[in-house]
C-alpha cells in the first residue's frame, strides 16, 4: 500500500500567509499519460494571458512613472508580454493535443504557480522583479512543452521563488 503525501509550503504576502501544497512526487512520471481536456487547455491559456496582461501593466506603470521606452528592462517586459501572449494563444489553439503524465496534477501545479505570479505582479512597482517573474513564467511554458513532470514542477517552484514566496 502506498501513501500519498503532500508538502505544505507557507508563502508570505502583504499581511497574509498563503499555503500552497505541492506534491513532492509530481516530478516522477506515471505509467500512463493523459491528454488534457479542452477546459484544462483553456484554463492554462487564460493563466498565461492574465500574466501577460499584468506584466504589460507593470511596464505601462513604469513608463508613466518616468522610465524611458528604451530602458532595457522596459524592452524586456514588452518582449515577455508578446511571448506570454503567444504561449496563451498556442495553448488555446492546441486544445486537446497536449498529453502529460498526471495531467490533472500538472494542471493544478501550473495553476498554483501562475496564480502566485499573477498575485505578485498585481500593483508591482519593481521592474526588475517583474522581469524575473515574467522570465520564470516563460521557463514554465517551455517546461510544459517538454511534457516532463520534473521540469514542470521545477519551473513552478521557480515562479514561487521569483514571486517572493518562500518554499
Half-sphere exposure at residue 10, Cβ-oriented, CA atoms within 13 angstroms: 3
- 100 vs 66: CA distance, rounded Å: 44
- Which pLDDT tens digit goes with each residue over 81-129? 999 999 999 887 765 467 777 777 888 888 889 999 988 988 788 889 9
- 82 vs 79: CA distance, rounded Å: 5
Instruction: Say if pTM beats, i.e. exceeds, 0.85.
Output: no
Question: Could you tell me the residue ranges of all domains in the chain?
Answer: 27-162
Pairing of strands 99-101, 16-22: unpaired
C-alpha 93 chain-centroid distance? 19
- Which pLDDT tens digit goes with each residue over 131-153? 999 999 999 999 988 888 889 98
Whether the pLDDT of residue 45 is over 80: the answer is yes
Amino acid at each position: 500500500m502506498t501513501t500519498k503525501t503532500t508538502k505544505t509550503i507557507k508563502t508570505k504576502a502583504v499581511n497574509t500567509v498563503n499555503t500552497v501544497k505541492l506534491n513532492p512526487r509530481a516530478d516522477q512520471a506515471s505509467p500512463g499519460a493523459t491528454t488534457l481536456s479542452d477546459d484544462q487547455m483553456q484554463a492554462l491559456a487564460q493563466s498565461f494571458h492574465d500574466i501577460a496582461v499584468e506584466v504589460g501593466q507593470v511596464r505601462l506603470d513604469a513608463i508613466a512613472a518616468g522610465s524611458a521606452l528604451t530602458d532595457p528592462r522596459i524592452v524586456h517586459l514588452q518582449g515577455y508580454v508578446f511571448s506570454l501572449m503567444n504561449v496563451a494563444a498556442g495553448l488555446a489553439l492546441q486544445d486537446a493535443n497536449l498529453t502529460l503524465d498526471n495531467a490533472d496534477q500538472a494542471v493544478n501545479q501550473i495553476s498554483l504557480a501562475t496564480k502566485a505570479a499573477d498575485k505578485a505582479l498585481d500593483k508591482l512597482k519593481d521592474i526588475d522583479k517583474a522581469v524575473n517573474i515574467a522570465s520564470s513564467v516563460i521557463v514554465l511554458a517551455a517546461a510544459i512543452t517538454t511534457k516532463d513532470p520534473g521540469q514542470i514542477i521545477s519551473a513552478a517552484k521557480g515562479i514561487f521563488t521569483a514571486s517572493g514566496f518562500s518554499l
